[in-house]
Structures are given as structure tokens and as C-alpha cells.
Amino acid sequence: MKNSSKRILSFLLTLCVISSLSAVIALAAVQSSDYLDSYRATVVAQSGGRIVILVDVSGCGIMDEIGANAIYLYESQDNVNFYRVGTYNHNDYPAMMTSDSTDYYDTPVTYSGTPGYYYKASVYVYAGKNGGGDQRNYLTESKRAIS
């Protein structure tokens, strides 16, 4: 077998082994949460260019705190290239978090968008109890603002 063939085969097999190990490690690192049961978020386009972000979080039983730690809103003219236009933190927007509840279902953020433009949100959902908690990220699909 020629040297170059050997090198290619060795490289690919090495890649294969590393990928397998990485996959195993990655799987070992992903743990189900003791606080978060399920979650979603969605961007709702309302009349007048209004953009509303709906956050829906289900906790594992009654949580001390449940909601969203942070929300980042992105805007695009072509639905391809997006730019951040809003940053929301629950310390500045208390409506993003509720307490002593099994679920959080609310629209804590509203943005005055431009009709025809596209919007999507990156939401960091959170649930916590007894000093512990978990956070996950959810990226919504883009929605077009309407007039």
C-alpha cells in the first residue's frame, strides 16, 4: 500500500476513534435535569409590527424559581442574516421569572419590530429549587412581523 493511502486511512480511522470517544463523552455529559421537565419558546407576530416572545417552561414539580434567565432577540431583513436587537435579563425584567410554581407560561418581552422583517429569539430557560437549578437554551423559529 502506498504511503499516501496509508496516511489517509490512518487519519480517517483516527478521526473515527476520536469521534466515537467524543460522542461517548458528550453523551456522558448530557444529564436529564432534576429541575426542568420540558420547555419551549415561540415568537408571536402581532399587528403593528409587534413582536411578543412566549416562554413555556415545565418544572419537575413545584419549583422555587421557574422562567427565563435571559432572552436575546434577533432581527433580519432576509431571514438569513440575523442581528441582535434586544437583550433581556430577568434581573431587569422580573416578569421573566415566577416563584413557587410547577410551570411558567407567559409573554415577558414585547418588541416593536418592523413589518416585513424576521425575528427569532434565543431563550435561556431556568428552573431552580433549594439553591440548585438548571438552565437550557431554546432557539425559536423565525417569524415575520406583520403590519
Partner 1 sequence: MFKMFGNSHRKRSGYSGEWSQNYEHLKEKNAEQLTDELAELIEAAANGHCDMASIDAHLDALDEIDPLAFEIDVKASYNSFMSKHAVEMEREATRATVADVSVPRKKHSQNIRRLATLAAVAAVLICTLVLANSVNTSIFDAIAQWTSGVFSFEKEASFATIKTNPLAEGDSVSFDSLEDALNAFGITAPLAPQYIPDRFSLDEVCAANKAGNIFISAFYISNDGYIKLRYNQTAGSDFRDFEKDDNATTLYDCGGIGHFLIADKEKEKACWQNGEIECCITGNVTREELKEIINSIY
Rg (C-alpha) for the chain, rounded Å, is 21
Which residues in 93-122 contact partner 1 (CB under 8 A)? 102-103, 105-107
Cell of 74: 434577533
Nearer to partner 1, 27 or 80 (CB): 27
Nearer to partner 1, 4 or 112 (CB): 4
Least CB distance to partner 1 at residue 119 (A):
13
Contacts made by residues 76-79, CB under 8 angstroms, sequence distance 24+: 76/117, 76/118, 76/119, 76/120, 76/142, 77/116, 77/117, 77/118, 78/118, 79/118, 79/142, 79/144
Told to check if 33 binds partner 1 by CB under 8 A, we report yes
Q: What angle do CA 70, 72, 74 make, to 5 degrees?
A: 170
Helix (H) / strand (E) element for 88: namely strand 83-89
From 42-50, 67-75, 83-91, 92-100, span contacting partner 1 (CB under 8 A)? 42-50
Applying CB under 8 A, what is the total number of residues that bind partner 1?
A: 44
Q: What angle do CA 34, 70, 30 make, to 5 degrees?
A: 35
Told to check if 135 binds partner 1 by CB under 8 A, we report no
* Among positions 49, 56, 93, 114, the unique one binding partner 1 when judged by CB under 8 A: 56
Backbone CA torsion sign across 11, 13, 17, 19: positive
Told to check if 48 binds partner 1 by CB under 8 A, we report no
Interface positions with partner 1 (CB under 8 A): 2, 4-5, 8-9, 12-13, 15-16, 19-20, 23-24, 27, 30-34, 36-44, 46, 52, 54, 56, 58, 60-61, 102-103, 105-107, 136, 138, 140-141
